[in-house]
């Protein structure tokens, strides 16, 4: 099976098994609720699957659990995404669950900055 097909299948699995934090954030990003921008979830970019992506603004939003603490893999992944022209924002699960409004403010600011630079 080709790797792109495997990533698509894995993306679908991840959408069905979101964390509570991913679900909470998705409920606030979907249907262009934030700055009128369209986000997709569990989106393959190259060999990686990103939690949330705003393609129009080249923004990736990742929601991480404890397994990502001090992860060298995340650094490599972020570097790849930056090389592809994306900006990457990372939030901890507990940050999304306890301060979703603050998380949305940060994402909104990043979207506005991207709008100004286009």
What is 3-117's CATH topology?
Answer: Endonuclease; Chain A (3.40.960)
Q: What is the pLDDT of residues 87-115, one digit of tens each?
A: 999 999 999 999 999 999 999 999 999 87
Burial of 28 (0-12, 13-18, 19+ CB in 10 A): middle
Q: What is the pTM of this model?
A: 0.84
Residue 118 — pLDDT band, cuts 50, 70, 90?
A: low
What residue ranges do the domains of the chain occupy? 3-117
Q: What is the pLDDT of residues 44-67, one digit of tens each?
A: 999 899 999 999 999 999 999 866
> What element of type H or E holds 50?
strand 48-54
- Rounded to 10 deg, the angle between the 20-29 and 100-117 helix axes is 50
DSSP state of 67: G
């Amino acid at each position: 099976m080709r790797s792109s097909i495997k990533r698509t299948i894995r993306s679908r699995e991840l959408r069905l098994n979101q964390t509570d934090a991913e679900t909470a954030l998705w409920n606030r990003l979907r249907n262009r609720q934030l700055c009128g921008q369209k986000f997709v979830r569990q989106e393959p970019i190259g060999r990686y699957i990103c939690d949330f992506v705003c393609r129009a603004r080249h923004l990736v939003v990742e929601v991480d659990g404890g397994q990502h603490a001090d992860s060298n893999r995340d650094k490599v992944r972020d570097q790849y995404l930056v090389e592809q022209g994306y900006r990457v924002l990372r939030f901890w699960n507990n940050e999304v669950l306890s301060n979703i409004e603050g998380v949305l403010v940060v994402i909104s600011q990043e979207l506005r900055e991207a709008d100004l630079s286009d």
